[in-house]
Amino acid sequence: MTISLKPFTTFNIQATAQHLVQATTAEQLAAAWQQAKDQAQPVLILGGGSNVLLLDDFAGTVILNQIQGIDITENDEHWLLHVGAGENWHHLVSFTLEHNMPGLENLALIPGCAGSAPIQNIGAYGIEIKHVCDYVDCIELATGATLRLSAAECRFGYRDSIFKHDYQDRYAITALGLKLPKAWQPVLSYGDLTRLSPATVTPRQVFDAVCHMRMTKLPDPKVQGNAGSFFKNPVVSAATADTLLGMYPNAPHYPQPDGQVKLAAGWLIDRCELKGFQVGGAAVHSQQALVLVNIDNATSKDVVQLAHQVRQRVGDKFGIWLEPEVRFIGSRGEVSAVETIA
Residues annotated catalytic, as ranges: 159, 229, 325
Residues 6+ apart with CB under 8 A from 85: 47, 65, 67, 113, 114, 115, 172, 173, 174, 175, 176
What span, in angstroms and rounded, lies between the C-alpha atoms of 65 and 46? Answer: 6
CA 19 to chain centre: 25
Within 10 angstroms of residue 101's Cβ, the number of other Cβ atoms is: 21
What residues pair up with 314 in beta bridges, in sequence order? none
Q: What is the dihedral of CA 222, 19, 22, 324, to 10 degrees?
A: -50
Q: By C-alpha distance, which of 63, 34, 69, 68 is closest to 49?
A: 63
Q: CA-CA distances (angstroms) from residue 80 to 71, 147, 176, 178, 254?
A: 8, 19, 10, 6, 31
The residue type of 109 is L
User: How far, rounded to the nearest angstrom, does the alpha carbon of residue 274 sit from its chain's CA centroid?
Assistant: 23
| 40 alpha-carbon distance from chain centroid | 29
